Homo-oligomer: A and B are copies of this chain.
């Protein structure tokens, strides 16, 4: 079943396997007249690129994006925007001894159950490399949202047991350090923690927090297509996400109504605003004009170099140890 596309009016379709010839995205439904060039997309790919951090895999990919359609004289033309990134560093042989074994925490087994076989080279379609195509598609969306005055900031909220203090959310700091943590002290602790894990060939989970400002009140549909529900689906479609919460999230389940309700107050310009933001910017599935805040929990990288128990495709027990250096954390 067709599951590689997302969105009704503005639709992103991604394609490509980790070790195939290329990966890419087609953005259909982008309005005409938006300024768009390859540099607008490349800058986000450069940030994402493996090898950009001391904690990330040193896979050497230049990850150069090329826009193949949908723009004319520097502007989007209303037609589908096709973007391609050729894969360069595809040494499948690294993976050949894993071809007949199911890596714990990976989708090897479930792909085999669904499709009967799988492209075992670097995770194939289930590889995190698919997200590079999303980054390309998302870069177009971001350009469009920027024009509408909407700003999105995402950063690492926690790594394993190390959490950033809510009081110390310094976005400048997040852009400076290799773990994108907005709290210098937490970054230092998390770095130590990860270095220890790397020694043991182990990995850590983490939490990402995202803030969207400039969203006018009234966006989103009630009932099934709530803005919160669409965000939940979008975030949960990213590999390794195991939890999602908006505003106070799970903490709201422990709170009282008198604490959790956000009072409406008149704003200076005559409009309505909110005294607090426990709801995270969404009420009844519709934006309320406050900052939209959500968090996503990522499980630890399942590729660890310490030896693990598993089975092969015949169902026989085997032990594997996944070679090579791996990202100690996904966030």
Contact = CB atoms under 8 A, between A and B. Distances in A.
In this complex, the member of A16, A125, A304 whose beta carbon has the largest number of chain B beta carbons within 10 angstroms is A125
A277 interface: no
Interface in A271-303: 271-272, 275, 278-280, 282-289, 297-303
Contact of A232 (B233, B248, B265): B233
Interface in A230-256: 230-237, 239, 241-250, 252-256
Contacts of A80: 4, 13-16
Given A11-B5, A223-B4, A32 B117 contact: yes
A149 interface: no
Interface residues of A, number: 147
Contact of A26 (B26, B125, B130, B280): B26
Interface in A36-83: 66, 68-70, 72, 75, 77-82
Contact of A14 (B8, B205, B223, B228): B223
A263 B309 CA distance: 6
B202 A257 contact: yes
A311 B275 CA distance: 11
Contact of A222 (B79, B233, B287): B79
B29 A2 contact: yes
A262 interface: yes
B258 A202 contact: yes
A107 interface: yes
A73 to B, nearest CB: 8
Interface in A210-240: 216-226, 228-237, 239
Contacts of A16: 68-69, 80, 82
Give the oligomeric copy count: 4
A10 to B, nearest CB: 7
Contact of A22 (B69, B110, B235, B308): B69
A69 B133 CA distance: 13
A114 interface: yes
Contact of A289 (B7, B14, B113, B246): B113
Interface stretch (A98-106, A171-179, A180-188): A98-106
Given A124-B79, A205-B255, A222-B126, A26 B1 contact: no
A66 B77 CA distance: 25
B249 A242 contact: yes
A315 interface: yes
Interface string A99-138: 0001011110111011111110000111000100000000
A270 interface: yes
A242 B280 contact: yes
A289 B275 CA distance: 46
A310 interface: yes
A21 interface: yes
Given A3-B222, A107-B285, A197-B256, 11 more contacts: A1-B221, A2-B7, A206-B253, A239-B285, A252-B299, A257-B301, A260-B299, A260-B302, A261-B308, A266-B311, A279-B299
